[in-house]
Structure 1
Amino acid sequence: MKIVQLTQGTPEWHAHRAQHYNASDAPAMLGCSPYKSRQDLLREVATGIVPEVDAATQKRFDDGHRFEAWARTLAEEIIGEELFPCVGVADGGIYSASFDGLTLLEDTAWEHKSLNNELRAAMVDGCTGADLPKLYRVQMEQQALVSGAERVLFMASKWDAAGDLIEERHCWYTPDPELRAEIIAGWEQFDLDVDSYQTEPAAAPEAVGRAPDQLPALHIEVTGMVTASNLHQWKDAAIAVFQGISTDLTTDQDFADAEKTVKWCGEIEDQLKAAKQHALGQTASIDELFRTIDAISAEARAKRLELDKLVKSRKEAVRTEILTAGREAVRAHVDQINSSLGQHAIPLPATLTADLAAAIKGKKSFTSMRDAVDATVANAKIASSQTAERVRANVAILAKHDDHASLFADRILLCASKSPEDLGNLVAARIADFEAREAKRLEEERERIRKEEAERLEREQLEAAQAREAEKAPPTPPADAEASAAAEPVATARSTVASVASAGAAPTPAGARIKLGDLNELIAPISITAQGLASIGFKPVGSERAAKLYALADLPAICTKLGQIVEAAPARAAQKKAA
């Protein structure tokens, strides 16, 4: 932050404020200030014309400055550091703020206000800065934006004329990222509105209705007959006035005139009724007099009813026109945004119609209605711009993961509903889950291939061993020599197994392993498969590519088991032959 050496209220201070976006103006910019409308601030910034401060407002300012000076000591005791007032500008920006107090390290700020009933209602025991009305939070948020302060002590106090404390309340405000984003977007929209601002005529004074010119006093005297009357001339004047009453209602002045005229027409009716009753008191019947009075009364009544109905209908029509214009302004802004968003187009704010209706509720003049609608429209534009920026950020996040586009079939809903931070976490989670499932699938596929290859190699080895045995086998002996010849291969196998068993009796290194193929070479000319070994109680302890590995220490036991099987072979053969 850059500190500007300015004294509040000096011409230099006013010049500085005219060139920067100030924290004290931020509530009016967002339309949440009860002291200045957004339209008034827009007019001041665009034209440079600032209204004079009236005596009542100046007294309020003076009281606030006195209370602030007296309260600074209280604030320093709470913070535990000295505070100095200053004006600062954000580094490299146009955001500015005036600080009632700031610590030397600029990490803590102090904001003081005169205590009022609104603040009393908000600043109850245990309250925080988040409980304060929005206009105060907006000002402190921009102060934190400008200074980089980590917290702001908000204090409201009331003192007597002698400087004695009557009442004091305080709480801590901490920066709110969402509100800060709203303020930044709000000033950007305000910039656009200033650029497109068209000078308006000075605000007219509040409309005061004017009734038509007064008619001459009606004078009738009768003594059994009309002896004196200006009724005919009065009628001509009245009809001329009625016909000159305008029914083209557009401005606040037109409506004020019409409402006053409605009352005036009613008064004319009452006056004619009174004249008629006066005449009846003087004579029983004077047809011409009564017909004239009735005609004038009917004309006044017709005009009164017409104007009264027209005032009501036109008021409703103008209110509708103001609301429609506001809604269309927001629609045009959203359409402009959507021209660059494609399939990610954003909708109109869901509460726009209700917000506009609430803005004009209780407003009496069309000028106040338009100001309220303008502020609501500006806030709707700000919210739409923020939504669009969030959607663009989300689209950019997903664009970085086009290779996983299939994981985000709901990309439009995600971009519309998620914050960039949440979407980033969701993207990472989905990709991690997909990669884990894909790794598992590939591992299962590799395991299946390994098993198939191992089985294929075992089959090939078995077939090769069988082929070797077939080549070594002697010609089939005659039937009568079968019994004696059967013992020869059994004896050969027995001696082979015995020799291997005795060789394996030597000490074996711990953890040594032997491949199934090597084992078969040792016990040749006989051979055994992995399934065969498993059937006699020996399972592989590992694998090397497609080859099964067995504990070398188990070799003597394997050979012993095989020897036992070979020894029992003649008996099994005999049993089989007998069967």
Structure 2
Amino acid sequence: MKIHNVAQGSAEWHALRAQHRTASEAPAMMGASKYQTRTELLSMKKTGIVPEVTAQQQRIFDRGHATEALARPIVEGRIGEDLFPIVGTSGNLLASMDGATMLGEILFEHKLWNASLVAQVRAGQLEPHYYWQLEQQLLVSGAEMVIFVCSDGTEENFVSMEYRPVPGRAEQLVEGWKQFEVDLAAFESEPAAAVSVGVSPESLPALRIEVTGMVTASNLEQFKAHSLAVFDGINTDLQTDQHFADAEKTVKWCGDVEDRLAAAKQHALSQTESIDALFRAIDEISAQARAKRLELDKLVKARKVAIRDEIVISAAKALQDHLDKINISFGGKVRMPVVKADFAGAIKGKKTISSLRDAADSELARAKIEASQIGDGIRANLDSLRSLAKDHAFLFNDAQQLVLKDNDDLVSVIKVRINEHETAEAKKLEVQREQIRQQELQRIADEQAAAAMAAEVKPEPVEAPVSQATKPAAVRQVAGSPKVAPKPTKLEARVTDLEALVKAVAAGEVPIAVLTVNWQALDDLVDAEGSEFSMPGVTLEQVAA
């Protein structure tokens, strides 16, 4: 926050406010002010023309400043710190605080004592008219809370509450000012409309009829011509508040004309029994007055309904155009959810065209602000999906639902899904590797078994025993020399190989089928050599079983 050394209420302060969007204007910008409409604020910012302060308003302002000064020491005594009025800005937002502590952690805002606000403070629930100002003060200053006081400057009439930032409101306020800037750029200021007072057509000349046994004097023909001309000139194309006011006044005037004509006719009847021409003229004029009265009455009612419908339809179309622009910014991947706007409810009870339009425009601005907030959140989530899940897009076919989540929640979902997917893929890969390893072991075992079965096992010829005396001297064993170890037989070699094979099978490194095949080969070799099988802890019967 940038603090400005200007006194509140000074010319410098007013000049600074004109260049910024102020906290006191925030309720009107959000369409929640009791004293200024959003349209009036747009007009004031567009033209720079600030309504003059009336004498009555000035008296209220002066009283407010006086009670604020009396209430400040009460608050200081309760919090144990001094409070200093400050004016600060952050970007194009400005806030004038009635008081702030030295470190700026606590703010003070004072309002004049009134029963309605006192009830809100005691309940701890402020209307938007009040809390939007406080939200902007907190946003600009970065303070933790505002001590909101309603008093008349005395301890007896003094109530207060602590207001802290409500999650989501600051973001809504920022979006509100963004939408206000857009609307301000397109705003066309119109002259202030005066209060519409109905004007009926010019008065008709007094109808004078004198009769004896016949009409002796009458301006009936001139009266008739003038009356019909006036009726033809009555406006029936109702577009503005002035038109409606004129039409409603004319309806009453036509009724008066009918009554006066009836009275004139009755007066004439009292003077003569029958004057046909006089009566026909009077009846014709009376019929014209009645027809115009009924026509205008129906037009007033029909046009009011039609204009209300036009305002509601126009506002709904403007909101849809705003949503379409946001959808385009998503690149066609997702769409905005439904943003509800109650335009019919907003204009309910409004009487004038200007109030109808202002109410609809305020509801339109509120809906646009909400839509823009949602759109910003969706764009942030789309960025997260693009950056974190660019290689795993197939895991997020429900993106339409995911982008409506809080961004932190979405990031968690992305990480969990990717982690689960990668874990599952790693398990699949491990299973495939194990299958390949087992297939390779099986292939090796099959090759070994096939080689063993293909080998022919033939007994070696038995040589006749040779006496020591007949052996050559070169090979005759010398007495006392060490014995030479006999060469292992094929059976002994096979037993050694099979012992290692048994251990491999027990360790799960070789399929049992290989052992069975080799045992069969060993059994055949035992039979051929006529020897006894011997391997510690292992028998042919065990293998066969």
**What band does the TM-score fall into relative to the shorter chain?**
0.7 to 0.9
The residue number in structure 1 matching 2:96 is 98
Is the CA contact 2:236–2:299 (under 8 Å) kept in the aligned structure 1?
A: yes
Partner of 1:40: 40
Q: What residue number does 1:529 align with?
A: 502
In structure 2, the CA distance between the partners of 1:273 and 1:404, relative to structure 1 (3 Å rule), is same
Distance in 1 separating the partners of 2:298 and 2:390? 64
1:414 corresponds to which of 390, 394, 402: 402
**Structure 1 range deviating more: 335-344 or 249-258:** 335-344
- One-letter code aligned to 2:260: Q
2:261 alignment partner in structure 1: 272
Take 1:10 and 1:385, find their aligned partners in 2: how far apart are those partners? 37
Residues 347, 360 of structure 2: 8 Å contact kept: yes
CA 1:198–1:567: 2 relative to 1, 3 Å = closer
* Partner Cα distance (2:211, 2:43) in 1: 65
Q: Aligned equivalents of 1:476 and 1:236: distance in 2?
A: 157
Q: What secondary structure, in the 3-state scheme, does the structure 2 residue paired with 1:261 have? A: helix
> CA separation of 1:234/1:527 partners in 2, compared to 1, >3 Å: closer, same or farther?
same
Structure 1 letter corresponding to 2:130: Y
The question of 1:429 aligning with 2:401 is answered: no
Q: Does 1:179 align with 2:169?
A: yes
8 Å contact kept, 1:346–1:388: no
Give the Cα–Cα distance (whole angstroms) in 1 for the partners of residues 539 and 249 of structure 2: 129
Aligned counterpart in structure 1 of residue 135 of structure 2, from 138, 141, 144: 141
Aligned residue pairs total 495
Instruction: Give the aligned residue type for 2:145.
Output: R
TM-superposed deviation, 1:14: 0.5
Deviations 1:446-475 (A, max 9, x none): 33334444445555566677788x65x626
Question: What amino acid is the match of 1:408?
Answer: F
Shift of 1:89: 1.4
Task: Please say if 1:195 is aligned against 2:185.
Answer: yes
Map of 2:297 onto structure 1: 308
Deviation, structure 1 residue 176? 3.0
TM-score normalised over the length of structure 1: 0.77
The amino acid of 2:181's aligned partner reads D
SS in 2 for 1:342: coil
Q: Write out per-residue CA displacement over residues 266-288 of structure 1, whole angstroms, 9 at most, x where no aligned residue.
A: 11111112222333333333322
Per the TM alignment, residue 224 of structure 1 is displaced from its structure 2 partner at its CA by 4.5
Deviation, structure 1 residue 302: 0.8
Could you say if the C-alpha distance between residues 443 and 348 of structure 1 is closer, same or farther in structure 2, counting changes exceeding 3 Å? closer
Query: How far apart, in 1, do the equivalents of 2:189 and 2:276 lie?
Result: 61
Question: In structure 2, what is the equivalent of residue 286 of structure 1?
Answer: 275
Match of 1:64 in 2: 64
Give the superposition deviation at 1:151.
Answer: 1.8
Alpha-carbon spacing, 1:452–1:16, altered in 2? closer, same or farther (3 Å): same
Alignment correspondent of 2:323? 334
Q: SS at 1:403's partner residue?
A: coil
Tell me how far 1:186 sits from its aligned partner: 1.6
Q: Distance in 2 between matches of 1:348 and 1:43?
A: 32
Structure 2 CA distance for aligned equivalents of residues 55 and 568 of structure 1? 122
Kindly report which structure 2 residues correspond to 1:113-192, keeping only aligned pairs within 5 A, or say none.
Answer: 113-125=111-123, 127=124, 131-157=125-151, 159=152, 163-192=153-182
Code of the residue aligned with 1:431 in structure 2: it is I
Q: CA deviation at 1:342?
A: 2.6
TM-score (ref. length: structure 2)? 0.82
- Is 2:495–2:535's contact at 8 Å kept on the other side of the alignment? no
- Which of 381, 399, 405 is matched with 2:386 structurally? 399
**Partner residue of 2:236?**
247
Shift of 1:246: 1.5
Kindly state the Cα deviation for residue 74 of structure 1 after the two structures are TM-superposed: 3.0
Q: 1:260 to 1:344 in 2, by over 3 A?
A: farther
Letter in 1 for 2:284: A
Equivalent residue number for residue 343 of structure 2:
356
List runs of 5+ in structure 2 lacking aligned partners: 463-487, 511-533
> What one-letter code is carried by the residue in structure 2 that aligns with 1:50?
V
In structure 1, how many angstroms separate the alpha carbons of the residues matched to 2:35 and 2:365? 18
What is the RMSD of the two structures over their aligned residues, measured on CA atoms? 3.2
Question: For the residues of structure 1 that align with 2:269 and 2:155, how far apart are their CA atoms?
Answer: 74
- 1:250-277 deviations in Å (ceiling 9; x for gaps): 1111111111001100111111122223
Q: 1:567 to 1:25 in 2, by over 3 A?
A: closer
Shift of 1:568: 7.7
Please list, as runs of the form range in 1=range in 2, the aligned pairs for 1:438-453 lying within 5 A after superposition.
438-453=425-440
Q: Runs of 5+ in structure 1 lacking a partner?
A: 478-491, 497-519, 534-539, 545-560, 574-579
- 1:390 maps onto 2:363 in alignment: no
Please say if residues 89 and 96 of structure 1, whose CA atoms lie closer than 8 Å, have aligned partners that are also in contact. yes
Q: Deviations over 1:463-499 (max 9, x none)?
A: 677788x65x62699xxxxxxxxxxxxxx99x97xxx
Letter in 2 for 1:326: A
Q: CA deviation at 1:37?
A: 1.1
Q: Tell me, what secondary structure is at the counterpart of 1:250? A: coil
State the SS of the aligned residue for 1:110. strand
**Is 1:204 paired with 2:177?**
no
Q: CA deviation at 1:360?
A: 1.6
> What is the match of residue 474 of structure 1?
459
Aligned to 2:536: 563
Structure-2 change in CA distance of 1:72 and 1:566 (3 Å): same
Match of 1:13 in 2: 13
